[in-house]
Amino acid sequence: MSKFLFFLFIATLAFIRVDAQNAQQHTHFMFNQLVYNPAYAGYDNSVHINALYRQQWTGIEGAPALLTFSAHSPLNVGNSNAGFFIANDVMGAQRTTHIHLAYAYRKILNFGNISFGLSAGLFQHRLDGSMLRAPQGNYESSVNHNDDYLPNSQVSALAPEVNTGIYLTVKSLQVGVSANNIIGSKTLFNNPNTDTRISFARYYTTSLMYFQQLGKKFTLIPSALLKTDFLHYQTDFSLILQYKDNFYIGSSFRGNVPESIDAASILLGVIVFKNLRIGYSYDISLSALNNVNNGSHEIFAGYRISLKDIVKPGKAIYNPRFL
């Protein structure tokens, strides 16, 4: 096991060079980890189809909105797993759309299993310059920022993106580590006078999730997520209490030091037919923005198909000719 932990440590440090953090943020991170960590694909030998919509800081014009869709499954060929995700992130005048294909190789160990994952794709970065206003701009009859670096209309650019990660499952414990945007992607907007280049920094995540049975009916699920560019750190802590396969209730807290405290959340969810999970969360702002917004809303839907339930052992029928 020490060799695997050493490899996990080296893989985390291999890509350290950061400028700023641009990680997606959502409260249902524990059920939607493929967008952070490609090694999560097919981790429990099941097919997962997930969708999430988040409206952050309602009441503020141009507040962030996030929509993600993902699916992943074992391939049952050479311990391989595959998946994909689409994420559309809107914040004010800018919109970023990510499309990724993911692959994970799972190694079964005596104490659990470990997966090594890689995802690659493209993202489109769009900037609507007509929504911006500059101090020296002229906006009487048309949009003219009088700034060579600000576009006067909508512009867009494409760039490649690569994520990598490791996901370890030991009985009821799940641990994931990932490095995102490891190639340090940049987008180039062609303006009439000066090209504008925007860099997207590498960032890293570490996730923890544990399932603790409380009798026959309840399961306690603590989880945590750390996102960092090694200049800034953001943590999410969550605690969910699930009753059988029927419903769950929980709470979460985002922040680890006074400067990073962002929100406290309430999570509610129902599980339909043991396969469909529908969840809702409401974030109460604890930062300086709490006086100018009405909180954040998030809806999550996840459908799970266990391959163990599909492929069941058949009844043995003996042929008397070979007895």
Lowest-confidence pick of 10-24, 113-127, 140-154: 10-24
Q: Tell me yes or no: is domain 2-135+150-308 CATH 2.40.160.60.
A: yes
Confidence at residue 10, expressed as pLDDT on a 0 to 100 scale: 37
How sure is the predictor about 22, in pLDDT bands with cuts at 50, 70 and 90? Answer: low
pLDDT band per the 50, 70, 90 thresholds, residue 3: very low
For 133, the token pair is 């206003």
pLDDT tens per residue across span 204-219: 999 999 999 999 999 9
pLDDT value for 8: 38
How many helical (H) and strand (E) elements, i.e. helices and strands, does the chain have? 2, 17
DSSP class of residue 77 equals: S
Q: Enumerate the β-bridge partners of residue 221.
A: 240
Give phi and psi for 14, each to the nearest 5. Answer: -65, -25
User: d(Cα 27, Cα 251) in Å, to the nearest integer?
Assistant: 10
CB 41 within 8 A of CB 47: no
Instruction: Give the DSSP per-residue string, 209-241.
Output: EE-EEETTTEEEEEEEEEEE-SS-EEEEEEEEE
Tell me if residue 37 falls in helix, strand or coil: coil
As a whole number of angstroms, the distance between CA 318 and CA 59 comes to 70
Cα distance between the two ends of the chain: 46
- Residue 260's φ and ψ, nearest 5 degrees, are -110, 0
H/E run at residue 6: helix 2-13
- List the domain boundaries for the chain: 2-135+150-308
pTM of the model: 0.84
Q: How far apart are CA 87 and CA 64, in angstroms?
A: 13
Closest CA to 64 of 21, 31, 95: 95
Rg of the chain on CA atoms, in Å:
22
| Site of tokens 């969360």 | 281
C-alpha closest to that of 194 among 152, 230, 248, 163? 152
pLDDT tier, 190 (very low <50, low <70, confident <90, very high otherwise): confident
pLDDT tens digits, 30-43: 999 999 999 999 99
Contacts of 154 (CB under 8 A, 6+ apart): 126, 127, 128, 129, 130
Read off the pLDDT of residues 234-273 as tens digits, 9 standing for 90 and up.
999 999 999 998 999 999 999 988 888 999 999 999 999 8
The SS3 call for residue 142 is coil
Query: How far apart (Å, rounded) are the C-alpha atoms in residues 281 and 266?
Result: 5
Looking at per-residue pLDDT, the higher value among 319 and 211 belongs to 211
Distance CA 145, CA 143 (A): 6
